Amino acid sequence: MKKIILPALLAFGCLTAAQFAAANPQEHYCYAMYGNGACVDNSGGGYDSEPAPYRVIELYDFSALAAAPNRVFAVSNGHTAREARQAALNRCREKGGRNCRAMVTRNGCLSVATGKDARGDTFYFFGTAKHRSDAGEDALNQCKTGRYKECRISDERETDICAAYPH
């Protein structure tokens, strides 16, 4: 028995995830219908087992990033711009933010970069783009264009977000 299992394990170990998925097309598949995403897991383990129940994946068109001068950040997604903005502002205030302001994007990402001026004060720059890395680069370029020093993409919590959309 051991002689059979070891070669089988080694054979599966050489497959990439994509090859394994291609070999097992019924394993997982996802689809979006009428704006609602759902993912079905049919990996019940055998022909006799029932498919796993639907797992709903929320899809959002809008992302919001709220920030306050006292360095409090909050992010949220929503089905509408108003919903995303309000949720981000509420989270910002709940976390102790004063004078929170929000930036909203549709079907894209938001990110924050930081930089220092000549006096050493930290400034924040907000970027937006279709992809997370491009939003970070946009924010970083704003910092560099303004001739700030030590420009970098922020590593603080809740300083980047992307809308989860089916496009």
Q: What is the pLDDT of residues 122-161, one digit of tens each?
A: 999 999 999 999 999 999 999 999 999 999 999 888 999 9
CA gap 10, 132 in Å, rounded: 37
Give the other-Cβ count within 10 Å of 128's Cβ.
18
pLDDT of residue 164: 74
> In 3D, which of 111, 110, 112, 123 has the Cα closest to residue 150?
123
In the predicted structure, residue 48 carries a pLDDT above the cut 50: no
Residue 56 has which token pair?
Answer: 């709903």
pTM (2 d.p.):
0.62
Mean pLDDT over 84-102 rounds to 95
